[in-house]
C-alpha cells in the first residue's frame, strides 16, 4: 500500500472566503501514484473548514448569508469564547457547521466525484497562514 502526505497552505487576506482547492488535490493524487484508494483532505485549524459542494457563486453567497445568520460575527461580546481577548467565536461555530474534512474515493487514478462536486477550503477567520492536510492511501 502507498501512502502520500502533503500540506497546502493558505493566507486569505479577508476574514471569510471559500476557495476551490480541487486542482491542488488532483495534483496530489497524480503525485501520489495511487490508482485505487482514498484521499482525506482536512483543515488543520479550528476556524477553517473543508467541504464538498458545487462551485457556483450564488451558492457561495447563500452560504455566507446563512452562516452569518447562524453565527453572526458581531457583536463579538455575544460569544463567551471572545472573553479570552479574541474576536473569532463565530468562526469556531461556522467551522463546526461546515465540517473539518472530506474523504474522496480514488478510482483509476482520479478523484471519484459525483456531478458538480468540488473540494473547497472555507476560511472563517483569515488574515494568517493556515494549512490543509492531504493524505492519500491506496494501491
Whether the Cβ atoms of residue 119 and residue 22 lie closer than 8 Å to each other? yes
Tell me the C-alpha distance between 48 and 10, whole Å: 10
Where does the pLDDT of residue 97 fall: very low under 50, low under 70, confident under 90, or very high at 90 and above?
very high
Whether the Cβ atoms of residue 49 and residue 42 lie closer than 8 Å to each other? no
Q: Residue 69's beta-bridge partner residues?
A: none
The reported pLDDT for the residue numbered 131 is: 98
| Sign of CA pseudo-dihedral 29, 137, 129, 67 | positive
Range 52-79 average pLDDT:
97
In DSSP notation, 28-68 reads: HHHHHT-SSEEEEEEESSTTEEEEEE---HHHHHHHHHHHH
pLDDT in tens, 19-61: 999 999 999 999 999 999 999 999 999 999 999 999 999 999 9
Where does the pLDDT of residue 101 fall: very low under 50, low under 70, confident under 90, or very high at 90 and above?
very high
130 membership: H or E segment, kind and range: strand 129-138
Nearest by Cα to 133 from 20, 17, 12, 5: 5
- Domains (ranges, CATH) in the chain? 2-138 (2.60.120.460)
Which cell numbers hold the place of 68?
A: 452569518
Tell me the C-alpha distance between 64 and 57, whole Å: 11
The reported pLDDT for the residue numbered 86 is: 94
Q: How far is CA 4 from CA 1, 93, 101, 111, 137, in A?
A: 10, 31, 17, 15, 6
pLDDT in tens, 80-95: 999 999 999 999 999 9
Amino acid at each position: 500500500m502507498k501512502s502520500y502526505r502533503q500540506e497546502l497552505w493558505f493566507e486569505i487576506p479577508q476574514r471569510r472566503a471559500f476557495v476551490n482547492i480541487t486542482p491542488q488535490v488532483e495534483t496530489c493524487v497524480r503525485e501520489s501514484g495511487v490508482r485505487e484508494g482514498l484521499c482525506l483532505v482536512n483543515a488543520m485549524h479550528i476556524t477553517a473548514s473543508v467541504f464538498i459542494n458545487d462551485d457556483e457563486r450564488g451558492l457561495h453567497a447563500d452560504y455566507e448569508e446563512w452562516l452569518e445568520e447562524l453565527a453572526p460575527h458581531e457583536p463579538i461580546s455575544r460569544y463567551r469564547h471572545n472573553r479570552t481577548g479574541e474576536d473569532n467565536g463565530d468562526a469556531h461555530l461556522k467551522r463546526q457547521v461546515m465540517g473539518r474534512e472530506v474523504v474522496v474515493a480514488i478510482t483509476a487514478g482520479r478523484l471519484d466525484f459525483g456531478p458538480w462536486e468540488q473540494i473547497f477550503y472555507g476560511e472563517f477567520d483569515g488574515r494568517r497562514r493556515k494549512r490543509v492536510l492531504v493524505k492519500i492511501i491506496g494501491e
